[in-house]
Amino acid sequence: MSYNNPNTGSGSRTASGRFEFGRTHVVRPKGKHQATIVWLHGLGDKGSSWSQLLETLPLPNIKWICPTAPSRPVALFGGFPCTAWFDMGDISEDAPDDMEGLDASAAHVANLLSTEPADIKLGVGGFSMGAATALYSATCRVLGQYGNGNPYPVNLSAIVGLSGWLPCSRTLRNRMEGSHEAARHAASLPILLCHGLVDDVVAHKHGEKSAQTLSAAGFRNLMFRTYNGLGHYTIPEETDEVCTWLTASLGLEGSRSY
């Protein structure tokens, strides 16, 4: 797989060795605030790229929070630094998962959502590596804990992943087995996955396999949509589907049932 023109940075670490997250951009709801969604950008991108698009969507009841990932060395680029939610090499079932990076980003997302009012529905979405982080957050929510065992603190009501994949897919089913609570949460958590059939960065087969793995692990409220002719980007047809799905799944004002 390949990424073009990464937005490079210095790979700054804090004194504790943790990577610092970048600037967060917020899109305020234009109508009654009913839901808050953290939206995560792709590798080498920044939060403002997506906040500008999300602001144009006809979803007046949603507040969007668009953080920026830390700049860190990425194995895919031979250790060259760029904004990334976690370290990664090639996408494959055999590739090692950066559990520390995944947990740190999932915790950052949860912290952003934890201060929202109690009556507001919460969600996570993203594109490419951001979608992978959103799906990892979904597994943390269902299992009730991060990969390191610390408790996951927020209740998620919707997950959206565009052109992404599922990290830690090899171990998910084993971790789910034996937990009735995890099975119950998985069955009720709405997930929308969208993928372009001619994606040359994150191949369609990775998105399809991720959806199959999630379904086999008990995520029954899952929709996987394929777009013919779509590469590694988004199009109005896809964002329209996201709007319709979020409105129905979150019960937003003006929603219509399928």
- Catalytically active residues, by annotation: 128, 199, 232
CA angle 210–211–217, rounded 5-degree value: 90
End-to-end CA distance of the chain: give it in Å, rounded: 36
The set of residues, in sequence order, having a beta carbon less than 8 Å from that of 56 and lying 6+ positions away, is none
Ranges of H-type helices in 115-179: 129-143, 169-176
Strands 80-83 and 71-74: antiparallel
Name residue, tokens 């799944």.
Answer: 249
Residue position matching structure tokens 């199959």? 212
Instruction: Check residue 225 and report its DSSP letter.
Output: E
